[in-house]
Homo-oligomer: A and B are copies of this chain.
Amino acid sequence: MTQNTEDSEAERNRRHAEERKAVKAERDVMMQSKTQTGGLLLIHTGAGKGKSTAGFGMAARALGWGQRVGIVQYIKGKWITGERRFFARFPDQVRMEIMGEGFTWDTQDRARDVAAAQAAWEKSLEMIADPELDFVLLDELNVALRYDYLDLDKIVAALKNRPRDKHICITGRDAKPELMELAELVTEMRMVKHPFQQGIKAQRGVDF
């Protein structure tokens, strides 16, 4: 494998121009057939693996088309994850917000958790409204809703009134029926077989 084949500045500019042109062409088509295309609301739910991972795959795909991506992670989880390290490489294409440290899911301090979830939702609203972004991933928002850290009615209302030129993907188990009703695409990731069942530990690259 070659050691360093990063693109030259000129090549990068050329590619950037080409990609923006492709995005514009795509948008023109979208505008011509409004009833057929437009921003989709997608939900990845279920107890199986791959919900967030498919969201990150969508982000990678969007970046490939020169699109711009916003990501809000509603779960504390591991502080350093492969996806955070990876998407941090593209500051000109990706805006990423990690929810406050206080959010732990164990409700030892519910008021702090609610405040953290609320702050993350404010960031989400900004991204949904931002015309610069083509795709917004609200990672594990379903879990914040499941714990009633956010007001479902408000979230449903905001998503109903979202700008229609943007795709939004919401992940997390136990998606609320009201959100699934609103979504154009719902996939349930169903666990058929899981390595934890076999005593295998979580691993870099696979699990985080």
Contact = CB atoms under 8 A, between A and B. Distances in A.
B187 A48 contact: yes
Contact of A92 (B4, B44, B55, B200): B4
Nearest to A167: B206
A194 interface: yes
A3 B9 CA distance: 13
Interface of A: 1-7, 12, 19, 22, 26, 30, 33, 35-38, 40, 42, 44-46, 48-65, 67-68, 81-87, 89, 91-93, 95, 132, 134-135, 167, 180, 183-195, 198-201, 203-206, 208
Given A37-B200, A49-B185, A56-B61, 20 more contacts: A1-B93, A1-B95, A1-B132, A3-B92, A4-B12, A4-B92, A6-B12, A53-B61, A56-B60, A57-B57, A57-B59, A61-B205, A64-B81, A65-B85, A67-B204, A180-B192, A180-B193, A185-B195, A187-B191, A189-B190
